[in-house]
Structure 1
Amino acid sequence: MNTSISDNRKQPLVTVIIASYNHAPYIEASIGSVLAQTYANIELLVVDDGSTDGSVELLRTLSIQHGFDLRVQENKGLSRTLNESVARSKGSLVVPFGSDDVMFPHRIATQVAYMEGKPEVGICSANTEIIDATGKVMCEREQRKRNEPFRRLDFDDMFMDRKPGPTAATLMFRREALEKVGGFDPEIRLEDVYIELAVTRAGYFIDVLGEPLAQYRKHATNTYKNGRFMVENVLKTYAVYREHPAYEQVRWRFLNSMFLKYARKDKGLSRELLGMIPLRAWNKKTLRGMIRMVFG
């Protein structure tokens, strides 16, 4: 594989960007799933963002074997890394892909075919299958986003959580949409929520296909498990749209959900969250969270 895989120049070039940070147990499977795509015209850019777990040595070996573009840097964070990678990429379609996730072989081909002739779609997504740290498909109870039907989302759908949202492991961006919104915000480290809202606010739709096209890996260091990180960055993202008439309701709904989620797991964080929710915004989740704090 060269930096650009191309057997058919008439196909749009798709840039896949894998930014890796301390994912040595998973990175080879992630890269391998890109190399195994049935779609030919792919540019693969891999960036190690300051790993300390042996990832760099593995990536250098894989780069020599397969010929993809590898850059190794001091830690800059995902948003900055993605912006720099997009700036040097050549694809008209851009796929940021988790270094711990796995694509199904037909993933890129399916999404490219769908995006053709739909300039109003800034992001194409799909459902995901959940796997564990070893790659085993998890039980049916865990597969919440495997069988969701097709949905088209606009800004209010996203901001007000009116429909099931896109999945990070399956995002494909139209390059012009990324450029129109100025890319990712380096100050907001939860990049997917920010960019999805920015792209839909700019007038594009997000179309989510009703089939799984990737496997999302659940393991001990998933970002969503860091409650304080999630709260800080989601609130920063929502604050961009503080002029929206539903801003306060959206913010309170999120705080109540996070309070309930962490009432038993992290009582220090949950107390802080409760202090951010005014009495008039309390709901059943607030009360359930209080019960968990006391008796959990």
Structure 2
Amino acid sequence: MSQSSQLVSVIIASYNHAPYIEECILSVLGQTYPHVELLVVDDGSTDDSVERIRRLQAEYGFDFQVQQNQGLTRTLNSAIARAKGELIVPFGSDDVMLPERLAKQVAYMADKPEVGICAGNIELIDSQGTLFPESRQRRDVPFRRMDFDDVFMERKPYAPATTLMIRKEALEKVGGFDPEIRLEDLAIELKITHAGYYIDCLGEVLARYRKHATNSYKNHRFMISSILRIYALYSDHPQYEFVRTRFLSSMFLKCSNRDRQLARELLAQIPFKKWSKKTWRGLMRLYFSPLEKG
């Protein structure tokens, strides 16, 4: 099948993002690439997301299902099973695609079967859709190809979740998303690169990531437990202890003047002989810096 006719299945799992869901859906419907299947699943929202989505569905006719809450990874797996596209794009219901995003990724992946995931750079927007200052953007990260060790050991800048385009063949090869792991992007990137595929990240902006009060990354306890669980799947890797300890030190530093109870729990998991500069900096913050709010 030629690149010009490959079907792309975009899956939006919507959950309590009523203020953002319409802009998100319209950004998919407004893509310059013509062969797009849009599947929207509301995963038990308690706000007025369903009503907003139904109004758009009546106008544009995309696939829309409503279900009781099952969680993101289970919702994605269910939608992927019925998706018709060879290329799968899981997309956050609070984010925004730039108009030529899908066209650029489809063209790039057309002759590269070794690439399981194509990604790109992002711009950051706030809850009102306003761009963050240039100094806080990830606009200018250059192209990089990543294998498993690059992702696991963070040797190169990460592939932003909101820009992932994944071969359905690769997803099927690794058994899809792990339904027991809620932090889906890191887990699937590791699974697919572990299976021998590459992640290629284009050095251009493809999407806008919205930062707001309910972003998952702000729940430190959730992020830490999820990432440690993902790393543990590869505990036979020779650098596993290094990767795990480095992550614990980074999160200890981040939490040291934000959530001191959590910081102490993290510190207890870092062997003294593995303490790094970040560990010592976190220790200074823990005992000598004022507690940050928010």
TM score, norm. by length of structure 2: 0.96
Which ranges in structure 1 are unaligned for 5 or more consecutive residues?
1-7
After TM superposition, give the deviation of residue 191 of structure 1 in Å: 0.4
Structure 1 residues 212-237: Cα deviation after superposition (integer angstroms, max 9, x where no partner): 01001110111110000000110110
Partner amino acid for 2:9? T
Per the alignment, residue 195 of structure 1 pairs with 188
Structure 1 residues 185-234: Cα deviation after superposition (integer angstroms, max 9, x where no partner): 01111000000000000000000000001001110111110000000110
Per the alignment, residue 292 of structure 2 pairs with none
After TM superposition, give the deviation of residue 142 of structure 1 in Å: 1.2
Equivalent of residue 146 in structure 2, options 153, 156, 159: 153
Equivalent of residue 207 in structure 1, options 190, 200, 204: 200
Matches within 5 A, 1:130-149: 130-143=124-137, 145-149=138-142
Q: Secondary structure at the match of 1:211?
A: strand
Does 1:11 find its partner at 2:5? yes
After TM superposition, give the deviation of residue 53 of structure 1 in Å: 1.1
CA distance in 1, matches of 2:82, 2:240: 36
Task: Quickly say closer, same or farther: Cα 1:9–1:289, change in 2 above 3 A.
Answer: closer
Per the alignment, residue 259 of structure 2 pairs with 266
Does 1:164 find its partner at 2:157? yes
After TM superposition, give the deviation of residue 10 of structure 1 in Å: 5.4
Equivalent of residue 55 in structure 1, options 38, 41, 49: 49
Task: Quickly say closer, same or farther: Cα 1:9–1:177, change in 2 above 3 A.
Answer: closer
The list of structure 1 runs, each at least 4 consecutive aligned residues, that deviate by more than 3 angstroms after superposition, is none
Partner amino acid for 1:257? S
Equivalent pairs, count: 288
Task: State percent identity of aligned pairs.
Answer: 64
CA distance in 2, matches of 1:174, 1:23: 27
Task: Quickly say closer, same or farther: Cα 1:225–1:9, change in 2 above 3 A.
Answer: closer
Structure 1 residues 8-38: Cα deviation after superposition (integer angstroms, max 9, x where no partner): 9951000000001100000001000001000
Asked if the contact 1:9–1:41 (Cα under 8 Å) also holds between the matched residues in 2, the reply is no
Asked if the contact 2:3–2:107 (Cα under 8 Å) also holds between the matched residues in 1, the reply is no
CA distance in 1, matches of 2:3, 2:229: 41
Partner amino acid for 1:289? G
Equivalent of residue 70 in structure 1, options 64, 68, 72: 64
Structure 1 residues 135-160: Cα deviation after superposition (integer angstroms, max 9, x where no partner): 011101211x2100000000000001
Asked if the contact 2:3–2:110 (Cα under 8 Å) also holds between the matched residues in 1, the reply is no
CA distance in 2, matches of 1:202, 1:242: 16
Equivalent of residue 21 in structure 2, options 27, 44, 59: 27
Matches within 5 A, 1:145-294: 145-294=138-287
Provide the aligned C-alpha RMSD in A.
1.1
Which ranges in structure 2 are unaligned for 5 or more consecutive residues?
290-294
Structure 1 residues 131-186: Cα deviation after superposition (integer angstroms, max 9, x where no partner): 1110011101211x210000000000000110001011100001100000000001
CA distance in 1, matches of 2:76, 2:276: 38
Per the alignment, residue 4 of structure 1 pairs with none
After TM superposition, give the deviation of residue 257 of structure 1 in Å: 0.5
CA distance in 1, matches of 2:275, 2:144: 31
CA distance in 2, matches of 1:217, 1:185: 25
CA distance in 2, matches of 1:17, 1:109: 17
